[in-house]
């Protein structure tokens, strides 16, 4: 079973304004309402891929009801802790010429509700996977992920961490099964500016050597790099993709990689499928549907064949130059 935790879920209210002039009334051409939160996104894609998943987290008020109803209607199993006061935050996304986002603060979470969530986490068994991703509310300790992993240490649980900065570095002590920074997050950790999977690989190797079993680094349209648990390095590219909305693309990659490995796929194929999942979501208004994922995965096979051919040709030229 793959569990996800979303401490700071949201209802994303996406508007498409015709204008965005401060101090004046602006009108939207259309609107969409979606469930937001990284863990929720991971569970939603896993559900789309017919992988058993349970979505954990904390919700409140009428907005929390909307998230629960929407996920359950889609077939996602949920086990949220419900707060007695407040409401799950609303994020307003103004998708005009330039995307402008106003993120809500969210409710204050009492200690007894955190303990209730911990009680549910304690039921996770050996062989299960726990995905820790997304922001931590300001009312909770900023090392919450490490607190959880320390609490559950020694139980044979696979930890997956997709978080920036110190949250990611702290997790390395627990030797997580997988981490997934993007190239910009990786750059901030090492004070560099890598853009391609090849440029990211040395730094992914460092994180692997510091404890992470599988290190996946996404590089937007350039593809992704992987230093795997077997110690080998893998690179994938992106299928042709018209960017519509990048929100949830990284979460889709996490879901695709985990689903692939659990089905016995090789590391290279798992990375390819993860790339297809991320690209499919990036090309969709919301999270990708299975048919779109399959289409992108098929398209990627041709891209990877060309990449491998070019790589072999370059290696041959380099060998001949050395003679």
**Does the annotation mark 230 as catalytic?**
no
- In the set 122, 128, 142, 251, the catalytic residue is 251
Backbone angles phi, psi at 64, to 5 degrees: -65, -40
- Which residues form the catalytic set? 251
């Amino acid at each position: 079973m793959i569990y996800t935790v979303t401490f700071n879920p949201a209802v994303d209210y996406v508007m498409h304004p015709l204008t965005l002039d401060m101090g004046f009334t602006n009108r939207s051409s259309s609107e969409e309402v979606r469930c937001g939160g990284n863990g929720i996104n991971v569970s939603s894609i896993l559900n789309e891929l017919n992988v058993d998943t349970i979505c954990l987290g904390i919700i409140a008020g009428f907005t929390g009801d909307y998230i629960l109803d929407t996920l359950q209607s889609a077939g996602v199993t949920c086990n949220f802790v419900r707060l007695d006061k407040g409401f799950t935050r609303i994020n307003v996304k103004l998708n005009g010429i330039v995307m402008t986002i106003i993120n809500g603060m969210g409710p204050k979470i009492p200690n007894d509700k955190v303990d209730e969530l911990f009680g549910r986490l304690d039921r996770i068994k050996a062989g299960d996977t726990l995905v820790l991703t997304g922001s931590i509310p300001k009312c909770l300790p900023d090392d919450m992920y490490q607190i959880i992993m320390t609490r559950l240490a020694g139980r044979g649980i696979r930890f997956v961490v997709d978080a920036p900065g110190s949250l990611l570095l702290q997790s390395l002590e627990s030797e997580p099964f997988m981490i997934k920074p993007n190239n910009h997050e990786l750059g901030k950790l090492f004070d560099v500016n890598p853009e391609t999977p090849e440029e990211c690989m040395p730094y992914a190797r460092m994180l692997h050597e510091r404890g992470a079993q599988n290190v996946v680094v996404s590089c937007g349209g350039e593809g992704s790099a992987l230093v795997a648990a077997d110690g080998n390095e893998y690179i994938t590219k992106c299928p042709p993709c018209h960017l519509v909305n990048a929100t949830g693309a990284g979460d889709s990659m996490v879901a695709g990689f985990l689903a692939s490995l659990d089905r016995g796929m090789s590391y290279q194929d798992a990375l390819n499928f993860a790339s297809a999942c991320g690209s499919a979501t990036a090309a969709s208004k919301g999270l990708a549907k299975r048919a779109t994922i399959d289409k992108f995965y098929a398209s990627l096979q041709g891209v990877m064949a060309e990449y491998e051919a070019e790589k072999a040709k370059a290696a041959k030229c380099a060998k001949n130059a050395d003679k």
